[in-house]
Structures are given as structure tokens and as C-alpha cells.
Amino acid sequence: MGNRIIVIGANAAGAKAAAKARRIDPRAEITVVDRGEFISYGACGIPYYVSDTVADVKELMSTPVGVVRDAAFFRKVKGVEVVTGTEAVAIDRQAKTVTLYERSTGHTVVRHYDRLVLATGSSPSIPPLENMGCPNILTVKTLEDAQLIKEKASPDKSVCIVGGGLIGLETAEALRERGMAVTVVEMREQLLPGILDPEMARLVEKHLQEKGVTVLTGCTVAGFDGTTRVEKAITTKGEVPADLVILAPGVRPNVTLAREAGLTIGETGAIAVNERLQTSDPDIYACGDCCETTHLVTGRKIFVPLGSTANKQGRVAGINAAGGSSTFPGVLGTAIVKVFEMNAGKTGLTEAEARNLGYQVETVLAPAPDRAHFFPGAKPIALKLVADKATGRVLGLQAVGLGAVDKRIDAAVAAITFGATAEQLAQLDLAYAPPYAAAMDNLIVAADILRNKLSGHARGITPAAVKKKLTEEDDFILLDVRSPGEHEEVRIAGAKLIPLGALREKLETLPRDKEIVAFCKVSLRGYEAQKILEAAGYADVKFMDGGILTWPYELEKGARKAE
Amino acid sequence: MGNRIIVIGANAAGAKAAAKARRIDPRAEITVVDRGEFISYGACGIPYYVSDTVADVKELMSTPVGVVRDAAFFRKVKGVEVVTGTEAVAIDRQAKTVTLYERSTGHTVVRHYDRLVLATGSSPSIPPLENMGCPNILTVKTLEDAQLIKEKASPDKSVCIVGGGLIGLETAEALRERGMAVTVVEMREQLLPGILDPEMARLVEKHLQEKGVTVLTGCTVAGFDGTTRVEKAITTKGEVPADLVILAPGVRPNVTLAREAGLTIGETGAIAVNERLQTSDPDIYACGDCCETTHLVTGRKIFVPLGSTANKQGRVAGINAAGGSSTFPGVLGTAIVKVFEMNAGKTGLTEAEARNLGYQVETVLAPAPDRAHFFPGAKPIALKLVADKATGRVLGLQAVGLGAVDKRIDAAVAAITFGATAEQLAQLDLAYAPPYAAAMDNLIVAADILRNKLSGHARGITPAAVKKKLTEEDDFILLDVRSPGEHEEVRIAGAKLIPLGALREKLETLPRDKEIVAFCKVSLRGYEAQKILEAAGYADVKFMDGGILTWPYELEKGARKAE
């Protein structure tokens, strides 16, 4: 086996592949080629560089112990040659050569490889609109982008961010914190599509609004208006002032080089690879944002570009390219984002995704403090679990709130990877002490409710279904079982108040022939009410998932005499 | 099946069992008996009540939404009768009766049961020493204890805490924060025995010392000295001033009632139960601190009393006692504790536990920031993974540091529960964004090093083994591959400095016939150095696990000319 390895792309996946190949084969000749000038930087840190949370761009390019990862570092420490400012423009698979174009000189060289690793990354999927060439329309992908945004982001000016996904929301926070008037425009009916179900996304939207960000969902940008520079965006919901436009659309894999070389492109549009990350040419590997991977719940191919996956894949591609043996099984589509003080994330399938794939699902909405409620600093988070009704298998978790959502996501990642059922999730021996969790962790509580639902003991109804009943003036009783004090503070219009503690005594005030939907703050008392009423012979009783805390619609506020 | 259920004990397990039994059988007659006056409180919150972190004792007794869980609550909401101040003194299994002794009146009543649930809890295992009756010797188990401690804890007075386990350290923090001079006396050679391996425990000990707590390990209390009240503790390491003595020993299960009723007591000393939490009498269940459970890694019976387990077991015992069907598979011995700003926890087996059980183990010590190193607020944590050499199966994780250790513990809990190997742990699709983790989470990095070790690529040596070599003046080279700046700041005496970036050029300064042990701050560069030296033909090269960050011994500090 030959020992010339060329890696195309020097960010997370490429840099990792090169470093790992070196460790496997100390004598290989390893070259990394990148068309940019910066290598191996933390691209996910760019919004934090924009907000000045990260002051020095060098921090994004250094290792945790402060060593800057530049070409000299790779040469001296890793024994890897890095060539920047150079684009790979063609692969000749028969001759096993790559044609490299050096930008500064215009020179072209042809280099031989024994194994090739493609780590060509992804690019924002820019819509074809007028005036796109204007200097105040920018994207958020490279350090060069970030520097431009910082130059153009003046306080008290307005910015229109097109796209309400991860990068769009991170950038909204960054620019709001620089004092700008921020509008986020999202084509779909909700923020974070593909990451959160609508009612969970609504919690994030509320938080953005509280922070002074204007959110327009179900809103398409038709074009931009201005002369030498854009002054406003024209949208289906009217004009949006825009001294600056940030495009934060989804990304698409950079596959031109691979496609032109005749490599198979998968149904997702990314480079097709097997578990060893081999492309359709056994001497060419692909890793990171340019290739597709497998969803561990569905077994289907998906395209989920992410720095964490890129690192794992780089390791596998590097080992295999150097003659070792390693595999990458796939991902769960895990994602997480900080939006001001709110944390939002998911792993596995959302309810919408699961239903689209044909699963019969059961779901739970469980809001609760993120640690012992009596411990200072406890903050609310809401979990949404999605399970397969037939098997009880957990398909996904979403988590949104001011508290520690990442911990619950990560525990669910491990559980879902191993095919955990709601039963198994509920039994996990999670770490407990008051500063970290309640005696029953949020995940355990959610899994217990899920078990109760799957076994038929708990009968839930979604906030959306309750809202529909209210709107359509269905003849049902919406029963608030909170305390009079809680009811006075905030309530759902039309709800009847009977505090849970008084319910057994006041049964005569509830008709037996009507549907009853009970709720409280988080709906644990709502579930208690269901059980009390059922025991008393009421036939059609449910509780509303999540209670007041995750009710995504209007609430009445302030003192009102309890009914 | 009859419907009279008596639950003995009204804390976590008992209260949960009663509530769950009610949900399963709305018509059962359910009575909970407790010898104390407080019911269903968060006993784990007691140290935080002592420190005034939790101001009002009611907070410990209320639900997350602020409802106080007293007898009236249980009667009205749960439909469960609660009898406090009443001790169950005998069980007649033939007659199916319990004899109850009401303290205030001295009355005794005999009550019939169809199903009995024992949730009798545990008690501190107090050593038999002189003067134990003195009024200034207290334990930390009940709310009554906590109130006494608060009365007696004066600033500028001294307290001797006997026991360096979870409760001992939490109480040390609580009383230090009340301004007391605190000494912790621990019989074993390390703090948190059974929870952390010695080198991890040393990190906690250092932190306590930085906070002004005196720690005496390997130190036994021989007795207490004083007239009407203790004034000092007499220990094997001398006299310890003690205006107050807190006994924080391990706990033992309360099994007298069960034993006298002829129920089987397990080898752990706790009540033996099957997966349904049935005792040797099929009509009597046990849950919580009084019963033993199964370790999910070893399959052996263990006694690990914990509030989180008590809640899970209470649910299972309640369901089964009411005629339903549920099982409790076991635990991983997960534990976590906050000690001032430091967090320390474990799940599964420690290295010491695994070796005692006969496993051939491989271990990894991996310190790193708890999120992207460039993100403000990133704090260091050190992970120690323990794996079975033969199978690569992960046996346990310990985590210590100022950052988020609980998240890594919980992800490992789920992974270890399902028998994850190092390979599988390294591939988990954990949530990644800079505010939450590095692109390669601490757990992934640790698992990767473990994979490298298990495959023979990485050759580690423990800090303890290096210390032994230094002490015994072995002829080896301890090679510091950090930067000159890092070396000047802090270093291990006797180490030779060659920064990693210069290593390839300075090979001639290293003899080829000696053992070389490379290290850096966290030992990722140490591992790089091993690979570089091996590639250059050096035969006996290792790296030191964990690097400077987890070196548990003396360090030289301050400027010194680099060698």
C-alpha cells in the first residue's frame, strides 16, 4: 500500500483526518489542501466572535491549551504539510491525481495520491434573489464573513436575518447584543424547523420577543430594495428595514469536485459513503459536512453537517486512509442552540418527523425545574419525549428552557442510541443531588408520564387540541386545578377553577356527561385530577400536556376573582 | 385480592409507593405510618438547610410548584391516610397485622393489611465511642438534626466532622459557610471512599484545603474529650478542636422490624427483595433505603441508599402492592456531590472496585474544559474512565472539577446501563454547540484515548507510577512537552523540557536507551510526543495520564529558567 495521502479541506474533518492518519502511519506523506487562508478553526464559534463574546479570532484557531493550529503547527507537531489558498479543481481517479490551483500565483500542479480524503465542507444555500451582490448582504460561514459583519454592524441600525435556524438565531442574539434592531424572517411557520416541534419552537420565539427581536414566521423574502446597498427586505409580511442583511439559510454539501470525478452522490445530495466512510471509489474517503450519514433511529441516509460529527468522521476517514480500520455508525441528528438565556435542543426524531415517517407516536410534554426546586438557581426546562406506541421505544427528545437542557439531551442520546424504551429510560440511575437534579430527574418524570400514557393510565391531550376545542366552542370543561393564587396570577380564558385539594369535595359541581380536560402549572396535578375523577366514575377525562408552563397561546394575566 | 395497603415510612419511597398504589387502585384503603413528625421531605436538602442556602424548611417539604406535602395534602389530593408520630413495632405475617405504637398517647393498635410496604429507611451507623451522649455531638439525617445543628453552629467556633463521604463534605461546606473552623476526619486514606479513586479524591481534597477546611485522612477518632460537652476529638493524628462534633458515617438499613418478622435479610445487611421488590413474604414489599438492590455492571447485590432510587423503587412497590406489575432492574451506584465550587461524581465501578472484583482494567484520565475552550465560563473538569480490557466494555466513569461533571456522568449512566464499549461511547452523537461542549466532548475525548489505549496505540502510565519512579530514582526521562511559558509557571521537579513543536528537531538530545515518559497539561501533547518518538525509533515511550492538571502531588511553581 502506497503512503501518499492527500486531504482536501483543512477544517474540523480534514485536519482530524490528517492528524489521525499520521498517528496510524508515521511514514506516510500527508498533505492537506485548503482554498481558504485560515485552517482548522472553530467555525461554530463564529457567532460568538461576531458578538465579541470571543474577543480574539486566534482563540477560535487554538487548541484548548492555547496552541495556535496554523500550518507551522501542523508541520512541526503533526508532521503534516498544509497548503492554504489552494483549490483542488479536479480528480483523475485512473491516474490517481489531484489538480491543485494556487490562487495567489495562478499556478496549477498535479499531485499523485494513494488515498484521497474529501473534507470539502458545506456552503450556505443562497436563494436566487435580486440585488444579492450588494455589499451589505452577508452570510455567516467563514471567519472572513464574521469580520465583515463586525465592520458593518452598527448599534441602532437594523438588520434583517433571513433564516430562523441555528445560525440565524445565534446571529440574532449576537447582533442584538451589539445594539442592533433585529428582525428574523423564517419561511416556515415556526422557528428552528426540523429541530423543534411547533409548540416547543414557540417557547423560543417568545423568548426572542422578550429580548426585543422581531420574529416573522411563515414569511418569505421576495427581494431586497435599495440602490447601491440594500435598505429594506421585501417580504410576504411587508417591508423589513435592513441596513444589513444576514443570510442564514440551510447549508448544502460541497460536492462539485466529487461529482465531476464521477463519485456517487447520495439521495440527500451529499457524497455517498459506507460505514468506513469510503466513497464509491475505494481509494477515496469523505468526511465532515460534504458527506451523508445514517440516522440511527430510522436507518435512513441523512445530511446533518455538524462540527462534532466532522471530528468523529475525520478520525475514521484518517484511520482508514492510512491503512487502519474504523467505522462510523451514524448520528441521531442531535442539535442544540443557545438563544440569549434560553437553551434549546433535540436528539432523535421530533413528533413531526416521526409522524412523517409513519410512526404511531405517543408524546409527553413535561416542564419542571432543572434541579431540586428548593435549590437556588433552579431554572425551568420543558422536555418533550416522543415514543413509538407499538414498542414503547423512545424516538426522540426535545428540551427547551432557561436551565440545563444539554444534560437531558446527552443522557437521551446515549439511551436512544441503544434503543431504550420509555420503561428503560425511566429506570436510569441518573446522578442525583439537589444542586444537579430533583430526586426524580426531569427525564425520569417525563419517561414516567410516557409509561403512564403508553399503559393507558394517563390520558393526555395536546395544547393545540385544547386550543382547537376552545376556538370551535366545543362543549367541554377546561378544568384548572391549580391554587386560587396561581389562577389569579395567570390563566387560560374559559377555564373553570377547582383546586386539586378541593376536587374530591366539589365533585357535584362537575357534570358527569361532559368531556373534562384538567390542567395545572405542569400538569402533574392535572394527571392527579384525571385519576380522581376517573375513580369517581367520570368517563371522559383527560389532562392537558405540559400545563400552563408550555401553553403556547395567549394567557390572561393579573388579579381576577376565582370562579 | 384485598385492598388494605399499609406503608411503613413516609419519606421518598413510602410516600411514592402510597401515591402510586392509589393511582393503580382507586378503591384501596391506603395508610402510611411514620414515626417522625415530618413526612415526605427532601432529606438530601438538609445540608443546604444547614447552610441557609434553603431558608425555609417548608421548601424541603413542598412539591416543585409549592404545594406543601403534609398529612392534609396526602388525604385530600392522594386519598391516602397518613399517621405520623407512630411506630410500627411488630408484624404478624400469619395474621397479616402490624402493631402500631402511638408515641404521644402510648396507645398500641393492631391493624390488618392485605399488602404491606416497608419503607423504613436507614440510619447513620454510629461508632461506639465514649461521651456519645454529649449534647454537642450530632448527626445529619433528619430535619430535627438540622435544626439542632443550626442552633449550635456559631461562627468562629470549631467543628469536627467525622466522615469524609457525601454527607460529611456537604456538611463541611455548609458549616464553613456559616464561618466555622472545619476539620474533616476520614478513617480511610482518601476522601469519598467508594466513590472516587485516590487521585480523583485528591482533587477534591485540594479544593477543600483551598477553602480553608482541614482534612485528615487515614485518621481514626479514638474518642471525645470534655466534661458536660465535648471540647475536642482525640484522633490517631492528634487532638482536633471541636466545639461541635458532626457524625457523618455511612448509613445502615433499618431492618429490625423486617428481621423480627422473619423476612430474609440479604448479604448486604439490607432487606432482600426480588425484581418486583417483593421480600421473602410475597405480600410484603420493601423499597428505598431499607432494601438492597442489584448492581447493573456486576450483577451483585448492593446497598446504595439514595433519594432518586427510593422514588423509583417506591413507584414499583406501590404498583405491585396495589395489584399491578412493575420491576426495578437495579442501579449503577451513581453518586454526585457539590463541595464548594467543585463537582464530583461517579457511575459504575471505580478502578479500585473493578480490580477488587477481578477485572483486568484499562483506565484514562482526561482533563479538559467543560465547553468550547474559547467560550466564556468554560471550566476544567477531569474524567476518569474505567474499561474492561478483555471486552472494551466501559465499567465506570468518575468526573471531578469546577465545570459540568453531572452531564458527563448522566450520559455515561445511560451508556453503561446498555453495556456500551469504549468504541460506542466515542461515537455518541452528543449535543454540540460552543456554550455546551467542545466539538469533541470531554466524554468523546476520554473514550477516544481509551480506544487508543485498548488498541495498543497509546501507552499510558499513571501519575502514581510516575511518582514511584521519581521517588525510587529510576533511570528514566520525564519529558515535559509543554511550552516554556507553561513550564515556568508550574512544573514537576525533575522533568526535562522539550516543547512538542521542537521535539522532531531535538531528538538527538534524548537518549534512545532509556524509558521516556512524556506529559503536558492534559497529556494530549504527551500522547503526540509518544507517537513522534515511536516513529523515530524510540522503543520505550509512554505518556502520563492526565498531565499536570490531574497530577495529585507537589508541583514547583514560579519562574525558573527552562532547561
Question: Taking residues B220-244, what's their average pLDDT?
Answer: 92
* Region of residue B538 (phi > 0: left; psi between -120 and 50: alpha; otherwise: beta): beta
Q: What does the pLDDT look like over A123-152, one tens digit per residue?
A: 988 888 877 788 899 988 888 888 899 999
Alpha helices in B131-222 (DSSP H): 143-152, 166-177, 198-210
Does the pTM of the predicted model rise above 0.90? yes
CA dist., res. B417 & res. B332, Å (int):
8
Residues 101-120 of A with CB under 8 A from B: none
Q: How confident is the model at residue A52 (pLDDT cuts 50, 70, 90)?
A: confident
Q: Please tell me whether residue A337 adopts helix, strand or coil conformation.
A: strand
Using CB atoms within 10 A of its CB, is residue B135 exposed (0-12), middle (13-18) or buried (19+)?
A: exposed
CB contact under 8 A, B308 and A432: yes
Residues 530-559 of B with CB under 8 A from A: 531-532, 534-535
Lookup: cell for A197: 416541534
Nearest CA in chain B to A45: B434
Residue B290 appears among annotated catalytic residues? no
pLDDT of A561 reads 53
HSE-up (13 A, CA, CB side) for residue B33:
23
Question: Taking residues B525-535, what's their average pLDDT?
Answer: 91
Flag whether pLDDT at A516 surpasses 90. Answer: yes
Q: What does the pLDDT look like over A418-470, one tens digit per residue?
A: 999 999 999 999 999 999 999 999 999 999 999 999 999 899 999 999 999 99
pLDDT of B563 reads 44
- For each of the domains in chain B, give its residue range(s) and CATH number, in order of start: 4-122+252-321 (3.50.50.60), 137-249 (3.50.50.60), 341-454 (3.50.50.60), 460-557 (3.40.250.10)
Q: What is the DSSP letter of B177?
A: H
Contact assessment for residue B32 and residue B55, using Cβ atoms and an 8 Å cutoff: no
**Beta strands B238-241; B244-247: pairing state:** unpaired
Residues across chain A: 563
Question: Taking residues B35-54, what's their average pLDDT?
Answer: 80
Distance from CA of A351 to the nearest CA of B (A): 19
Using CB atoms within 10 A of its CB, is residue B43 exposed (0-12), middle (13-18) or buried (19+)?
A: buried
Edge-first strand listing for the sheet containing A221-226: A221-226, A230-235, A238-241
Share of chain B above pLDDT 90, in %: 78
CB contact under 8 A, B59 and A374: yes
CA dist., res. A544 & res. A478, Å (int):
9
Contact assessment for residue A409 and residue B411, using Cβ atoms and an 8 Å cutoff: no
Q: B442-454 and B405-417 are packed helices; what angle lies between their axes, rounded to 10 degrees?
A: 50
Q: How confident is the model at residue A290 (pLDDT cuts 50, 70, 90)?
A: very high
pLDDT of A59 reads 80
Residue with cell 456486576: B298
CB contact under 8 A, B413 and A406: no
Q: Quick one: how many helices (H) and strands (E) in chain A?
A: 17, 32
Q: What does the pLDDT look like over B106-157, one tens digit per residue?
A: 999 999 999 999 999 999 888 888 777 888 999 888 888 888 999 998 998 9
pLDDT of A562 reads 45
Looking at beta carbons, which pairs linking A499-506 to residues 24 or more positions away fall under 8 Å?
A500/A525, A500/A528, A500/A529, A500/A532, A500/B76, A500/B77, A501/B67, A501/B72, A501/B73, A501/B76, A501/B77, A502/B76, A503/A529, A503/A532, A503/A533, A504/A532, A504/A536, A504/B76, A504/B79, A505/B76
Partners of A556 in the beta sheet?
Answer: A491
Closest partner residue to B64 (CB to CB) among A44, A438, A531 is A438
CB contact under 8 A, A44 and B372: yes
Closest partner residue to A410 (CB to CB) among B48, B65, B407 is B407
CB contact under 8 A, A429 and B333: yes
Contact assessment for residue B522 and residue B549, using Cβ atoms and an 8 Å cutoff: yes
On whether any CB of chain B is under 8 Å from the CB of A437, the answer is yes
Contact assessment for residue A206 and residue A213, using Cβ atoms and an 8 Å cutoff: no
Residues 305-334 of A with CB under 8 A from B: 306-312, 315, 328-334
Regarding predicted confidence, which is higher, A138 or B40? A138
Closest partner residue to A76 (CB to CB) among B312, B457, B504 is B504
Nearest CA in chain B to A377: B53
Out of A78-82, B130-134, B245-249, least confident range: B130-134
CA dist., res. A18 & res. A25, Å (int):
10
pLDDT of A62 reads 75
Q: How confident is the model at residue A40 (pLDDT cuts 50, 70, 90)?
A: low
Please report residues of B whose CB lies closer than 8 A to that of A171. Answer: none
Please report residues of B whose CB lies closer than 8 A to that of A27. Answer: 535
Q: What does the pLDDT look like over B249-303, one tens digit per residue?
A: 889 999 999 999 999 999 999 999 999 999 999 999 999 999 999 999 999 999 9
Flag whether pLDDT at A563 surpasses 50. Answer: no
Closest partner residue to A411 (CB to CB) among B42, B410, B534 is B410
Nearest CA in chain A to B419: A418
pLDDT, averaged across chain A? 93
Please, what is the end-to-end C-alpha distance for chain A in angstroms?
Answer: 82
Q: What does the pLDDT look like over B64-78, one tens digit per residue?
A: 667 777 888 888 888
* Region of residue B514 (phi > 0: left; psi between -120 and 50: alpha; otherwise: beta): beta
Sequence-ordered list of residues with C-beta below 8 angstroms from that of B473, at least 6 positions apart, any chain: none
The angle formed by the CA atoms of residues A24, A45 and A47, to the nearest 5 degrees, is 155
Q: How confident is the model at residue B40 (pLDDT cuts 50, 70, 90)?
A: low
Distance from CA of A469 to the nearest CA of B (A): 27
Distance from CA of B95 to the nearest CA of A (A): 30
Nearest CA in chain B to A373: B64
pLDDT of A41 reads 65
Nearest CA in chain B to A40: B439
On whether any CB of chain A is under 8 Å from the CB of B138, the answer is no
Q: What secondary structure does DSSP assign to A466-513, as a single string?
A: HHHHHHTT-SEEEEE-S-HHHHHHEE-TTPEE--HHHHTT-GGGS-TT
**Beta strands B158-162; B244-247: pairing state:** parallel
Flag whether pLDDT at A2 surpasses 80. Answer: no
Q: How confident is the model at residue B560 (pLDDT cuts 50, 70, 90)?
A: low
CA dist., res. A177 & res. A53, Å (int):
10
* Residue from A408, A54, A407, A409 nearest B343 by CA: A407
Please report residues of A whose CB lies closer than 8 A to that of B62. Answer: 373-374
- Cα–Cα distances (Å) from B14 to B121, B317, B357, in that order, read 9, 9, 33
Largest CA distance in chain B: 89
Q: What does the pLDDT look like over B176-231, one tens digit per residue?
A: 999 999 999 999 999 999 999 999 999 999 999 999 999 999 999 999 988 888 99
Give kind and range of the element (H or E) at residue A40.
Answer: none
Q: Please tell me whether residue B203 adopts helix, strand or coil conformation.
A: helix
Q: Please tell me whether residue B512 adopts helix, strand or coil conformation.
A: coil
Please report residues of B whose CB lies closer than 8 A to that of A67. Answer: 483, 501, 525
Residues 205-234 of A with CB under 8 A from B: none
Distance from CA of A181 to the nearest CA of B (A): 24
Closest partner residue to B12 (CB to CB) among A312, A439, A520 is A439
CB contact under 8 A, B306 and A432: yes
**Amino acid letter at A276?**
R
Closest partner residue to B434 (CB to CB) among A42, A333, A368 is A42
CA dist., res. A479 & res. A543, Å (int):
9
Distance from CA of A237 to the nearest CA of B (A): 32
* Residue from B240, B225, B122, B259 nearest B182 by CA: B240
The winner for highest mean pLDDT among A78-82, A184-188, B50-54 is A184-188
Please report residues of A whose CB lies closer than 8 A to that of B436. Answer: 336, 338, 343, 406
Out of A193-202, A240-249, A449-458, B52-61, least confident range: B52-61
